[in-house]
Amino acid sequence: LAMHYTSDTMTAFSSVTHICRDVNYGWLIRYLHANGASMFFICLFLHVGRGLYYGSYTFIETWNVGILLLFAVMATAFMGYVLPWGQMSFWGATVITNLLSAIPYIGTTLVEWIWGGFSVDKATLTRFFAFHFILPFIIAALAVVHLLFLHETGSNNPIGLNSDADKIPFHPYYTIKDALGFVLMFMVLLSLVLFCPDLLGDPDNYMPANPLNTPPHIKPEWYFLFAYAILRSIPNKLGGVVALVLSILILAIVPFLHNSKQRSMIFRPISQCM
């Protein structure tokens, strides 16, 4: 994609069109990339959910690195969404970067520094492309740190007890299990890409960015809706921004709320019903 994409406001939109029309299997790569992000977020949310359910947050270092990872992935996804330079790309970038202007005293200067000018323009697009490319490598490095901290304690399991006695060889048992999971996820992804690739996208993004015309409904991709809904539900700008950040950062307080002798929700019948 990076070989054919151009991070210039005049050509970005048409370069994506060129990828879909003229590049060999470009349409497939583009939709696998866009919908692959959705599948990735599904996996992330499931991973965070099982961490909450099985009390994995008691490994505080691992948990905190995981929160950093979630922030990094969300930043990457946001910057990637801006690149096709459609209407929703432009206005999404404008709305979200503008939130930093709510920071007292330095807000406006900060926003213009991120934009590289007085609006979302070529400078913004170029730097977002660079960051969208580099951040996944930072995420990969953070994932190694995530595993490093997990390796210190050993992994958690549904019973919450030491499982050394139950250890089995990684191959063939876990390799088969992981391969099956991968194949199932990939089948879902391929079905989505080949039958309804635009199901999760926004039709507005098929219109080139127009700074003079605001879309009637500015909304993010589904995986940001929880954060965006919290942002929009608070009338105060700064309050909304704080709530948006806290909607993810709240995960950091979970280990400190754990006062019970029971580990998380596993052994509580009412929690199990949830």
Looking at the annotation, which residues are catalytic? 151, 155, 177-178, 221
* Unique residue bearing structure tokens 């500015």: 218
Asked if 102 and 238 touch (Cβ cutoff 8 Å), the reply is yes
Buried/exposed code over 97-126 (b: 16+ C-beta within 10 A; e: otherwise): bbbbbbeeeebeeebeebbeeeebeeebbb
Q: Which token pair is 255? A: 């280990």
* Unique residue bearing structure tokens 């599904």: 42
Would you tell me how many other CB atoms lie within 10 Å of the CB of residue 252? Answer: 16
Q: Which residues contact 73 (CB under 8 A, 6 or more apart)?
A: 40, 41, 44, 139
